[in-house]
Amino acid sequence: MRLYIKTFLLLTLFFIWSGSIAGASLPEFSDLAEKAGPAVVNISTVKKVERPEMGDFFRGFQDRGHPFEEFFDQFERFFGERERQPREQRSLGSGFIISQDGYVVTNNHVVEGAEEIKATFRLEDEEKTFEAEIIGTDPETDLALIKINTDMELPTLEFGNSEDMKVGQWVVAIGNPFGLNHTVTAGIISAKGRVIGAGPYDNFIQTDASINPGNSGGPLLNMQGEVIGINTAIVAAGQGIGFAIPSTMAEDIISQLKTDQKVSRGWLGVTIQNVDQDIADALGLEEARGALVAGVTPGDPAEEAGMEAGDVIVSLNGDSVEDSSDLTRKIGQLAPGSEATVGFYRDGEKKDVTVTLGERDLEGLAERPEPEPESEKADLGMSFRSPSQEEAEQLGLSEPQGLLVTEVEPRSPAHRADIAPGDLILQANGQRVDSTNDFFTILEEDAKPKQVLMLLVNRQGQNIFRTIPLRD
């Protein structure tokens, strides 16, 4: 009997202890939600959008000589002008107040093109709605700063340090999904540094805290109630996959928008691509890391500092550069006019150069052709020759140089490497080629021993690198 009582007491103590441990491991969010919630605002906007022309809908029938063609013509004649009048489009999003003078952070896509913006939040158990104006936007990171004007004492949120956050730590999202004001969801940080193709400065925090349409622009909070991210994107086909802009990136951008109503970023003046293993082998690099310079824009900072196509940038101001996206973010965080030390490899030798950065110009960039995407890995089957003077002029060259690709066999190594007729080969494995003898000498003496041929190709004025593996 005494043994049974002792066993019962031990089991009871164990369950009490295990229950307390389990309870202690689960956080409590009510205080955080109560304190942070009032500073989260519901943003509603009104935009004017063009209506589609009715003729666009019917034209497919008309082109085929549809029997109702005359009816469609009369319908458009009577109603077409009316239908083309702009219509109002209303949308919802979220934001949060960061200062007593009424500044509110949100996403650019929430307020872009809006003719009317209203911010609604809860204050002393009452909902308050204010007209808001756009102070500044940054489409490249999808951030915006808007402002409301009031003499009332406003609740605010402060930025925390997203760099200090670790994968697996708890986070809380507050926003207005589907217009449901002040919805609180919780989860963990699933990953950091996500690149999802949203823009050149992708560096998202991934979270499984529930984020839905309407959450855009709302805060992602740590357990101290600090903003460590701005909720921005979701994977529509998945659940529990949301993305937030890190606070360490957002805070600097918001500060610039508040002061200058725009964001100024450093500019190096190079086109870059990632270094894969074939490129690393061709250049004799120990590891596939860094940003390969495919082209240098004439007159821009990189050219003035002596950088060339084929350089592999591996560090910036002493910090390691992992890939092209990493370099883009690091350069963008520096101010125009500042000096930066760029570390790179050229012909197997490590070099450092000091570059005075320019300013990133979105309008100028829009006029330049986008870099070609990286090719699929491949293995030769092409014909080439030196270009004529006329062909060189058509390619924008003052005199003939390089080798002009005239034919590429289907399913050949060159074809699989995305080499195309009309491409101008400027370099092979980092060495200039101006004759077929140059090309075949490099192929036999350098490329085959390395088992990879790397070509610098000019295509419609844009320099790109292509690699052809030569492994048996």
pLDDT at position 374:
33
d(CA 403, CA 227): 55
pLDDT tens sequence across 128-173: 899 999 999 999 999 999 999 998 899 999 999 999 999 999 999 9
User: 5, exposed or middle or buried, with CB in 10 Å at 0-12, 13-18, 19+?
Assistant: exposed
Nearest to 184 by CA among 174, 192, 176: 174
Active-site position among 44, 94, 109, 325: 109
Its pTM stands at 0.68
Record the tokens describing residue 375, joined without a space: 């090719």
Residue 373 has pLDDT above 50, yes or no: no
pLDDT tens sequence across 180-233: 888 999 999 999 998 887 778 889 999 999 988 889 999 999 999 999 999 998
Record the tokens describing residue 203, joined without a space: 């560096």
pLDDT at position 18:
54
| Residue 4: band (very low, low, confident or very high) from pLDDT cuts 50, 70, 90 | low
What domains are defined for the chain?
Answer: 28-41+95-263 (2.40.10.120), 266-367 (2.30.42.10), 382-469 (2.30.42.10)
pLDDT at position 134:
95
Residue 243 has pLDDT above 80, yes or no: yes
| Residue 392: band (very low, low, confident or very high) from pLDDT cuts 50, 70, 90 | confident
d(CA 129, CA 122): 9
pLDDT at position 51:
55
Distances (CA, A) of 126 to 39, 123, 393: 13, 5, 71
| Residue 124: band (very low, low, confident or very high) from pLDDT cuts 50, 70, 90 | confident
d(CA 382, CA 384): 7
Q: What is the dihedral of CA 160, 162, 167, 173, to 10 degrees?
A: 60
444 vs 252, higher pLDDT: 252
Report the residue count for the chain. Answer: 472
d(CA 195, CA 205): 10
Active-site position among 94, 216, 247, 325: 216
Using a pLDDT cut of 90, give the percent of the chain over it: 41
Report residue 448 CA to chain centroid gap: 37
Least confident of 182-196, 262-276, 398-412: 398-412
- 142 has catalytic annotation: yes
pLDDT tens sequence across 52-66: 554 444 444 444 444
User: Mean pLDDT over all residues of the chain?
Assistant: 82
Residue 377 has pLDDT above 90, yes or no: no
Residue 414 has pLDDT above 70, yes or no: yes
List all residues 6 or more positions away from 97 whose beta carbon is below 8 Å from its beta carbon. 39, 41, 103, 104, 121, 154, 155, 156, 157
Residues flagged as binding site for substrate: 109, 142, 214-216, 232-236
pLDDT at position 29:
92
- 216 has catalytic annotation: yes
Record the tokens describing residue 100, joined without a space: 């007593």
The residue-averaged pLDDT of 29-36 equals 93
Amino acid letter, residue 126: E
Residue 344 has pLDDT above 50, yes or no: yes
Residues flagged as binding site: 109, 142, 214-216, 232-236
Record the tokens describing residue 271, joined without a space: 């086109």
d(CA 293, CA 207): 34
- 63 has catalytic annotation: no
Least confident of 138-152, 251-265, 275-289: 275-289
Active-site position among 44, 94, 142, 423: 142
81 vs 86, higher pLDDT: 86
Q: What is the dihedral of CA 200, 197, 105, 40, to 10 degrees?
A: -160
Amino acid letter, residue 145: L
Pairing mode, if any, of strands 319-320 and 312-316?
A: antiparallel
Least confident of 27-36, 91-100, 444-453: 444-453
Q: Are 403 and 255 in contact (CB under 8 A)?
A: no
d(CA 315, CA 294): 17
| Residue 370: band (very low, low, confident or very high) from pLDDT cuts 50, 70, 90 | very low
Cα angle 130, 136, 141; round to 5? 115
